[in-house]
């Protein structure tokens, strides 16, 4: 086996579900990303604007890096729908994936004396992760802007280990298997897709309940009546997920007791009753802390408002 084959096998052995190798360099989709920013579709996510130029070339965020091992970790698309998006129901995925990528880097250093530096990225660096994953052969970018793998759908996290090594890259995924299907675009209750593969985040339920710090406009309250944190609708209706999504296998992503089996109204009422201490205890180590207690309580109020209006 080549080093690249052994490297990918090691990644799978550490618990990742997919692994591919990409060569770092100019990003083909950056012009489309820059146009998306220019139209203001990023809303309040100013960090995307600040890192825009770094995202134009994957050699810029960490000078000296030449290749990336891109991995995917499934989080269980077969779980029932609910008021919290599937990815956020258990423990925060960042730490788990960083630890595994750091273990992969340790293995690389054991195998290669020339492997001086490496850096793990999980959703936190100025990188267009889905395009990097596509270039590593892991799937295509669907009309709902998600990376879709033909054998497991799209319910997975993406991470990357940048390496100061010249590695033989995998072939980029070129095919588009969405065809004429528009189920994801048609199903979005807030009309967030202005075109295939173009989302106005300001209308997206995930953005409104997670990233935005502003009041949620009244026009979206009825659409948010079942959504306390995030949304999976455009993934739920995708035929590739209907057929190929998987059962939850990673124990860390199992729903915590507060969230398991709760409907939106019950969870909203529990969140509104929390003080800061209860919030910290309930959401310790959770990705849901990104919205803070104030954001979760804002969402809870909108959920109850939307249900009263329905």
* 19-39 residues labelled b (16+ CB within 10 A) or e (exposed): bbbbbbeebebbeebeebeee
Proportion of the chain in helix, strand, coil states, percent, rounded to 5: 40, 15, 45
Identified catalytic residue from 123, 176, 186, 236:
123
- What span, in angstroms and rounded, lies between the C-alpha atoms of 80 and 167? 40
Report CA-CA distances (Å) from 123 to 10, 169, 234, 253.
22, 22, 20, 17
Tell me, rounded to whole angstroms, the distance of Cα 265 from its chain centroid. 26
C-beta of residue 233 within 8 angstroms of C-beta of residue 189: yes
C-beta of residue 283 within 8 angstroms of C-beta of residue 228: no
- What span, in angstroms and rounded, lies between the C-alpha atoms of 183 and 69? 32
Answer yes or no: 176 catalytic.
no
- What span, in angstroms and rounded, lies between the C-alpha atoms of 186 and 182? 6
* Residues identified as active-site: 123
């Amino acid at each position: 086996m080549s080093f690249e084959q052994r490297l990918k096998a090691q990644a799978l052995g550490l618990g990742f579900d997919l692994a591919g190798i990409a060569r770092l360099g100019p990003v083909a989709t950056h012009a489309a990303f820059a146009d998306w920013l220019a139209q203001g579709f990023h809303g309040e996510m100013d960090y995307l604007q600040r890192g825009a130029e770094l995202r134009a070339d994957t050699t810029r965020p960490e000078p000296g890096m030449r290749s990336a091992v891109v991995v995917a970790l499934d989080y269980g698309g077969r779980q029932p729908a609910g008021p919290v998006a599937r990815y956020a129901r258990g423990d925060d995925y960042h730490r788990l994936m960083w630890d595994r990528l750091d273990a992969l880097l340790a293995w690389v250093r054991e195998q290669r004396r020339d492997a001086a530096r490496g850096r793990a990225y999980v959703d936190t660096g100025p990188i267009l992760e889905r395009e990097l994953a596509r270039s590593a052969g892991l799937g295509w970018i669907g009309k709902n802007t998600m990376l879709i793998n033909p054998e497991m759908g799209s319910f997975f996290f993406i991470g990357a280990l940048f390496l100061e090594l010249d590695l033989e890259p995998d072939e980029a995924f070129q095919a588009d298997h969405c065809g004429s299907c528009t189920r994801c675009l048609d199903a979005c209750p807030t009309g967030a897709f202005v075109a295939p593969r173009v989302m106005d985040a300001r209308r997206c339920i995930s953005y409104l309940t997670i990233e935005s710090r502003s009041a949620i406009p009244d026009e979206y309250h009825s659409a948010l009546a079942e959504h306390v944190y995030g949304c999976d609708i455009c993934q739920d209706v995708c035929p590739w997920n209907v057929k190929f999504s998987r059962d939850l296998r990673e124990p860390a992503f199992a729903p915590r007791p507060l969230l398991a089996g709760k409907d939106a109204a019950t969870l909203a009422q529990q969140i509104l009753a929390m003080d800061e201490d209860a919030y910290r205890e309930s959401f310790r180590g959770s990705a849901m802390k990104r919205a803070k207690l104030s954001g979760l309580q804002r969402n809870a109020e909108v959920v109850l408002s939307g249900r009263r209006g329905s």
